[in-house]
Amino acid sequence: MKRMLMAAALAFAAGGQALAADLPQASPLPPRAPSMYVPAAPPVYNWGGIYLGLNAGGSFVDQPAGSFTNATTGAAIPGAVSDANSTGFAGGGQLGFNYQLSQIVLGAEADVDYLSNKSTLNGTSTIGGAPVGTFTHTYQLDFLSTVRGRVGFAFDRILAYGTAGLAMGGFQATRTENSCTVGVSCPGTSVPGTNESYSDLRLGWTAGAGVEYAITDSWTAKLEYLYASLESLNYTFPIQNRTTSAPAETVNLVRVGVNYKF
């Protein structure tokens, strides 16, 4: 009996192997394609933070012709003096900060620039239409300082902005008596060669625009234009006994600069 069972088991095993050999073989699975590499997007530049920088450029100043009066009587003194225009060098530094909201950049900046602007004009004093003396007026604007707000729109590393605020300039005027008719146009001790100077701070407003580019995460470069209007002044030269009314002075400033962002 045992022999019969063993023979049946062997026959079943052999039949199973033959059946398996007759079945179609399954195709192997295709190789998996490698996953595509997608580089990470570069981070968007953030303009927020405190910065400190330097600037340099050109300054264009216009001082319109003033009127002259006798400081004692208030009578008008005719004089052939025209507008005083000058072109000079501007250079200085700035300190500011930015705060970024999405692509909107809000900020504030304070700066001070030395100006080399100086103009000299010659005038003639007349009485009854007859010339009785000549004089020279020299005008200087030694510096311009501003405190401004800034509103800009950022295109990643490029920032375009507008700016406006307060301005202050260091003004100086010097009058030199060149020639005069003694007793007629030479008041007091004002003799040829006499000169007097007046200096003051002129307040006003400024507005402009610029574009700034982030060279690295810390260093930026900018190109900027500012227009400033400084208040009118009345000042007196005591020796010449003359009062001058100077209209508002205007400044056009074009400059480039670099900033370091902390």
What is the CATH code of the structural domain delimited by 47-75+84-261? 2.40.160.20
Whether the per-residue pLDDT at 227 is higher than 70: the answer is: yes
**Residue whose tokens read 């933070």:** 49
- Rounded Cα–Cα distance for residues 255 and 186 (Å): 45
Average pLDDT over residues 196-205: 95
| Residues 36-45: tens digit of each pLDDT | 666 655 678 9
Percentage of residues in the chain having pLDDT higher than 90? 55
Closest CA to 250 of 147, 113, 117, 138: 117
Indicate the average pLDDT of the chain: 85
| Residues 48-84: tens digit of each pLDDT | 999 999 999 999 999 988 888 888 888 887 766 678 8
Q: How confident is the model at residue 17 (pLDDT cuts 50, 70, 90)?
A: low
**Residue whose tokens read 């450029």:** 57
Average pLDDT over residues 7-16: 50
The larger pLDDT score, comparing residue 104 to residue 135, is at 104
Percentage of residues in the chain having pLDDT higher than 70? 79
Determine how many CB atoms are found less than 10 A away from the CB of residue 7: 10
pLDDT of residue 19: 42
Least confident of 30-34, 62-66, 227-231: 30-34
Least confident of 29-38, 72-81, 190-199, 220-229: 29-38
Q: How confident is the model at residue 255 (pLDDT cuts 50, 70, 90)?
A: very high
For residue 76, give Cα distances in angstroms to 123, 127, 169, 197: 15, 10, 28, 21
Residue type, 40: A
Note whether 125 and 134 are within 8 A (CB).
Answer: yes
- pTM beyond 0.85: no
What is the domain partition of the chain in residue ranges?
47-75+84-261
- Rounded Cα–Cα distance for residues 241 and 62 (Å): 26
| Residues 116-149: tens digit of each pLDDT | 999 988 877 776 677 777 888 899 999 999 999 9
Whether the per-residue pLDDT at 159 is higher than 60: the answer is: yes
For the chain, how are helix, strand and coil distributed in percent, rounded to 5? 10, 65, 25
DSSP letter at 79 equals B
